[in-house]
Amino acid sequence: MKIRIGIDASRCSSGGAIEHFRNVFYNSTSKNPDVEYFCWVAEEGYESSCKDQFELLRAMPDNPIIIQIFWQFLALPLLLKYYKIDLLFTLDTASACLFKPQISLHQDLLAFEKYSEALKSLTLQEKIRLWFVKKFSIVNMMRSEKLIFLTHYARKLITQKYSFQKKSVIIPHSCDKAYLDINQPCQLRNQDAKLTFTYVSHYSFYKHQRELITALYQLSMNIIDIELNLIGSGFDDIKVRRSLLDGISFGNTFKINFMGFCTKKEIIDKYNESSILVFASSCEAFGMTLIEKMASSVPLACSNKSCLPELLGSNYPYFFDPTSSESIKFTLKTMINDFGLCKEVAINNRTRAREFRWSEISSSYHELIYQSAKEFSRSQ
């Protein structure tokens, strides 16, 4: 008799979560023939062409979050019982589903990081959301038979306060192979004699776009023609733009392109045109965008916070403190003054990025799910 696995990806609607689900379940060649999968996935990640790979693949509508929570709490356990599911794998530890046995993947660190000052700037709704994410995650992790973290940093941050370490494993993310095909010319300035910097990330206080803008504005006073591409959601809000540009006087030497959402091809094109890539986040459960930047072999300046030193290596020469515009400016100026060395380091970044392979990652997931289901069935 085949093992029946339920997969709850009903609230995984972000780009990184969808990319992870696609490579672990849609594109996987590691599925065990003795396992049947019953999956509920957010409509953003639903692909009808993959229905034949599952006993059940259902797209979940983009309902208000309270309805999604009630569905997980009330309806999903009944569905799992109806389909006689042996084990539930949930891609979000903030799930409200109390089904057992369960394996949970932790992908959201923000509620567990310490941002005492910055959190004051959040709206009441955002504060309430983070509070609920943390509480739901703690309950889920306490009830889950096994936990999956993406990095050692994430596991340590959470398990130093809660007793989860004995039943946790680390399985990282990877990135699309298309980033490995980027072939940036080994030159600092483009054809227009501009220095072009690119930062891909949605707008948020912990992404530190303001500090980066301040650093580049100060550099532009000494270096002719600096251009910054900001790619990601949130920049369409006029209030966001005003907060980012407050006190910045634009002249002929500094330009910012608020590009919003871009396709993968558009991002790759911008990477090819960039002098230096920047990643200034101070909170990441993994940092898939960082792996994409590493894979591109374009020179990279990176935050020294959260799990990022774990991915780049603790001795990486171009780290900066993302909360300090002076630190960012110093690192970027160092890179500009020795761009040849920057490019050599960037080639090493690509080599490091190749160590994260979706084929191996997917295999690890399916082996863990299969062996855990067998283990739990024997113990019952």
Indicate the helix (H) or strand (E) that contains 132.
Answer: helix 124-143
pLDDT tens-digit series, residues 168-197: 899 999 988 999 998 877 666 665 668 999
The full set of domains in the chain, from first to last, is 3-174+357-379 (3.40.50.2000), 177-353 (3.40.50.2000)
Tens digits of per-residue pLDDT, 291-337? Answer: 999 999 999 999 999 999 999 999 999 999 999 999 999 999 999 99
DSSP 167: G
Using CA atoms, how far apart are residues 182 and 179, in angstroms rounded to an integer? 6
- pLDDT value at position 166? 63
Instruction: Output the pLDDT for position 57.
Output: 95
pLDDT one-digit tens code per residue, 121-136: 677 888 888 888 899 9
pLDDT at 244 over 60: yes
- 376: confidence class by pLDDT, cuts 50, 70, 90: confident
Total Cβ atoms within 10 A of residue 97: 26
Record the tokens describing residue 87, joined without a space: 């084990």
**Residue 346 binned pLDDT confidence (cut-offs 50, 70, 90):** very high
DSSP 1-47: --EEEEEEETT--SHHHHHHHIIIIIS-S---TTEEEEEEEEGGG--
pLDDT of residue 116: 52
User: Does the pLDDT of residue 117 top 60, yes or no?
Assistant: no
For 39-70, write each residue's pLDDT tens digit.
999 999 999 998 999 999 999 999 998 999 99
